[in-house]
Amino acid sequence: MTELLLIVTIAGERITIPAADIESVVELEALIPVPRVAPHVAGLAALRSRVLTVIDCYASLELSPAEERSLKEAIIVEADGHPYALLVDSVEDVVEVTGEVRPVRTTLKRGWRRVARGMIDVGGDLLLLVDTQALLLGPQVAQAA
């Protein structure tokens, strides 16, 4: 398998996301909160006259939020015709990976377990391959489904 993967960092964890899922990587400007929405929705942001639904990956992964983090770096993905921005701590690089996605052989925390599609060897490091769709669904919806 040869796949282009984007390496991003969320909560100190380097993870990979299939580059094919990603429309672009942007720095978000103002974030408009959405009152009473599920906690993993951080708010709305505008990108070239489109309204993005911004997903807080910390909340989606059921992690306690980091003290200081920028709410700017985001990757844009689309699901069911709606554009989403996934907030990440940093975006590292796009790498071409040849190798098998292997099942995760260890017990992950619940939030990670929900989004992990497997693990993959990237330049000698073992990284999680994450499903963006599961990430943007957030914990509640995923449980209900």
Partner 1 sequence: MDDLLSEFIAETREMLEALGGEIVAWEAAPSDRARLDEIFRFVHTVKGNCGFFDLPRLEMLSHAAEDVLADVRAGNRTADNKLVSAVLGVIDRIGELVQALETGEAISSEDDEQLIAALHHTTEESSAAEEAMGAAAVEGRKAIRSIRLSVDLLDRMMSGVSDMVLARNELARRLRQASNDLAVENAFDRLSGCIAEMRDAITRTRMQRMDSLFVMLPRMVRDIAGELDKSVTLEVDGGDVELDREMIEMIRDPLTHIVRNAIDHGIESSEDRVKAGKPPHGTLRASARQSGNQILIEIADDGRGIDPDKLVRRAVQNGLITAEQADRLTAAQKTALMFEAGLSTAKEVTAISGRGVGMDVVRANIERIGGIVDVESKLAQGTRLTLRVPLTLTIIPALTVSVAGQNYAIPRSATEEIVRARNDTVKIECLGGSRIAAIRDRRIPLVSLAEVLGVEHERAADDQSLIVLKPAGGDDYALAVDVVHDHEELVVKPAAPAVMATGLYAGTTLADDGSPILLLDPSGIAASAGVVLDQNEIEKLGAKVARVETQRDEEPALLFMTVDGAKRAVRLSIVERIEEVSPEAVKFSAGRLHIALGDRILPLVGCGNRVPEGTLRILRLSDGKTELAYGFSEVIDLVTIGDFLKPASLPGEVGGVTLINGEQIEVIDSFWLFGEQGEDARGERDLVCALADDDPWMGNILRPLIEAAGYRTVRAADEEAETADILITAAEAEAPPLPAVARILKVRATPEPIGDNDDSIYRYDRAGLLTALSAYAGKTGS
Q: Determine, following the binding rule CB under 8 A, whether residue 41 of this chain makes contact with partner 1.
A: yes
Q: Determine, following the binding rule CB under 8 A, whether residue 38 of this chain makes contact with partner 1.
A: yes
CB-based contact 8:91 (threshold 8 Å): yes
Q: Which stretch binds partner 1 (CB under 8 A): 15-23, 35-43, 97-105, 113-121?
A: 35-43
Q: Which is nearer to partner 1, 2 or 49 (CB)?
A: 49
Q: Determine, following the binding rule CB under 8 A, whether residue 27 of this chain makes contact with partner 1.
A: no
Q: Determine, following the binding rule CB under 8 A, whether residue 109 of this chain makes contact with partner 1.
A: no
Lookup: tokens for 79: 């699901």
- Residues 69-88 touching partner 1, rule: CB under 8 A, are 80, 82, 84
Residue in 23, 24, 33, 109 binding partner 1, rule: CB under 8 A: 33
Q: Determine, following the binding rule CB under 8 A, whether residue 145 of this chain makes contact with partner 1.
A: no
**Measured distance CA(108)–CA(60) in Å, rounded:** 15
CB-based contact 38:141 (threshold 8 Å): yes
Pairing of strands 125-130, 13-18: parallel
**Shortest gap between Cβ of 80 and partner 1 (angstroms)?**
7
CB-based contact 122:113 (threshold 8 Å): no
**Measured distance CA(17)–CA(7) in Å, rounded:** 7
Residue in 12, 35, 103, 123 binding partner 1, rule: CB under 8 A: 35
Pairing of strands 50-56, 82-87: parallel
**Shortest gap between Cβ of 140 and partner 1 (angstroms)?**
9
What φ, ψ does residue 102 adopt, rounded to 5°? -105, 150
Q: Determine, following the binding rule CB under 8 A, whether residue 143 of this chain makes contact with partner 1.
A: no
